[in-house]
């Protein structure tokens, strides 16, 4: 019985992790406008972002981004809760 429960929880966690990863992929943009070393760099390829870059968001990008981040945090919180129950 414990093995079956463990398998079910494992599948559920993997499904939630995949959903979280998909949500992160959806909010990923190919280009970004950034401020780097005090200069504005428009349409910088996202793969060239480095720590310290300040990414500029337009108003229409902020609300969907907040929702997707909130969804991701909710899934992550549920996963952590299950892990705490299992191993706490």
33-88 tens-digit pLDDT: 889 999 999 888 878 888 998 888 776 656 666 777 888 888 888 888 888 888 86
Helix, strand, coil percentages (3-state) for the chain, rounded to 5, are 65, 20, 15
Which stretches does DSSP call E strand in 15-68? 31-36, 39-45, 54-56
Residues 5-38 pLDDT 10s = 888 888 888 888 888 888 777 766 677 888 999 9
Q: 31-36 and 39-45 as β-strands: parallel, antiparallel, unpaired?
A: antiparallel
- For residues 2 and 14, what is the distance between their CA atoms, to the nearest angstrom? 18
User: What pLDDT was estimated at residue 88?
Assistant: 65
């Amino acid at each position: 019985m414990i093995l079956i429960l463990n398998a079910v929880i494992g599948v559920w966690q993997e499904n939630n992790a995949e959903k979280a990863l998909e949500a992160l992929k959806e909010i990923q943009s190919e280009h970004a406008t950034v401020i780097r070393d005090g200069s504005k760099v428009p349409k910088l390829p996202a793969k060239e972002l480095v720590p310290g870059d300040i990414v500029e968001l337009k108003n229409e990008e902020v609300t969907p981004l907040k929702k997707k981040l909130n969804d991701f945090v909710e899934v992550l919180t549920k996963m952590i809760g299950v892990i705490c129950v299992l191993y706490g």
